[in-house]
Amino acid sequence: MTQRHKNYFIYTFFVIFIFGNIFMNDQAHARTYTAEEMSANPERLNGMTVTGDRLDNVVFKDVTLKNVTFKNIRLSKFTFTNVVFDNCKFIDICFYRGELNNVLFQGGLFAKRSKDIAADELIETSRIMNVVFDATVFDNAYFTGLRQGSLFLQNIHTTQNYSGPGGIFRGKDIFVAIRKCSIKGVKIVQTSGNSKIYAKDSFFDDSGFARTSTATYVDNCSFIGASDPGDSNTLVFINSRLLAWVETEGDVYFYNNTFLVKDGPPRLQTGVQGSDKSRIYVLSDKRAVAPINFVNGNIFLRNLDWVHPVMVPWEGQEYIKRVDLQNVAIRDGGLWEKLHLLSGQWENVQIYPAIDIADAKIENVEGYNVTFPEGVPWIGTPASNTSIRMRNKPFDWPEIKVPTLKDLGMEWEWPVITGKPLP
For the stretch 16-52, pLDDT in tens is: 444 344 344 444 457 889 999 999 999 999 999 999 8
Q: Are 67 and 46 in contact (CB under 8 A)?
A: yes
Supply the pLDDT for residue 29: 57
C-alpha Rg value of the chain to the nearest Å? 28
Q: Is 76 left (phi over 0), alpha (psi -120 to 50) or beta?
A: beta
Helix (H) or strand (E) holding 147: strand 143-154
Distance CA 243, CA 259 (A): 6
**What is the DSSP secondary structure assignment for residue 399, as one 8-state letter?**
P
Half-sphere exposure of 144 (CA within 13 A, CB side): 13
Do the strands 89-96 and 109-111 form a parallel or antiparallel pair, or are they unpaired?
parallel
Query: Cβ atoms within 10 A of the Cβ of 253, count?
Result: 21
| ∠ CA 285-288-292, rounded to 5° | 120
For the stretch 342-358, pLDDT in tens is: 999 999 999 999 999 99
Cα–Cα distances (Å) from 92 to 25, 39, 123, 240, in that order, read 21, 21, 9, 37
Cα–Cα distances (Å) from 290 to 231, 247, 360, 377, in that order, read 22, 18, 23, 19
> Among 418, 314, 327, which residue's Cα sits nearest to residue 370?
327
pTM over 0.85: yes
For the stretch 267-310, pLDDT in tens is: 789 999 988 899 999 999 999 999 999 988 999 999 999 999 99
Distance CA 412, CA 128 (A): 16
Distance CA 364, CA 278 (A): 19
For the stretch 356-410, pLDDT in tens is: 999 999 999 999 999 999 988 999 888 787 889 999 999 999 999 999 999 999 9
